[in-house]
Structure 1
Amino acid sequence: MPFTIAGNGEVEDNIVDDPSKEFFTVKTKGGNTFFLVIDRARNSENVYMLSMIDEYDLQEFLDDEERNGQQEEETPAVILPETKPEPTPDVEIEEPKEESSGGMNKILLLVFVAALGGAGAFFYFYIYKPKPKEETPQSENLETDQSLATVNEDSQQE
């Protein structure tokens, strides 16, 4: 039995391999194609769109007149009574007092004093009081004396 109102799209494919699953290919009046899978084995949340579809995509099913807002406005079927929230006691939130930048000044002063102390120590140890230069000891030239005969202990026979 057909519906009395004409549809907004056209089913191009209806594939049923398994009695619990149906695959539809639907083409809109604008020429866009959507893919739909219905899982009849589940009672709820059983319709799957194979591509992300939003309200803008669903407008492709509407006529130009319906898109321009000339369709009837639907009223909501269920109107819930407005509930009044219970008044909550006002709690004063204490804002933390802003600390003055005295902490930062102390850090900068400490860094400056440390740098000044380091510069003073460098001046004292490397410029004011340098280490006395040690005289290099004269070698006794025992190793390089050419007048002594050398004996090769490896080649001596006993």
Structure 2
Amino acid sequence: MTRNFALGGLLRLRRLEEDQAAGGLAAANAGTRESAAREAAARSVLSESTATPGSLGALQGVAAARASSRSMVAELAAVTAERRRRAEEAQQEYSAARKNTLSLEKLAFRHAETEAQLELQAEQIVLDELAGTAWQRGVSHLAEERGR
């Protein structure tokens, strides 16, 4: 009979932590992509502006719109940078969780190998005993036939 892996509960907990860290990393990466896309779109709109003002008032309006757009792009760049920082943190958390899980998985694998080896040894002992008993029966049967 094989023994259960003594650290099985801890391994399940570590796998759960790894899964949560992976989810956090995926969410952080998605946020970074979304933020970078919004920033790129805003920059694209800002660079494509080809307004030619016909009056001083129109020129002032274009200047104000550009200033506002630059401010918005700067805010989006800050948001993108913050999300990248969070994604890096999430990557570090995931790497640490994976490392913890991996070490326990290796222990569990070694345990399973040891248990399988012990099982094979026990089976071999039984087979050896059966073979020895069968051989003894064969020898005694031959001896009886010769004695007749």
TM-score normalised by length of structure 1: 0.29
Q: Which has the higher contact order (CA 8 A, sep 6+)?
A: 2
Query: Which has the higher Rg, Structure 1 or Structure 2?
Result: 1
TM-score normalised by length of structure 2: 0.31
More strand by share: 1
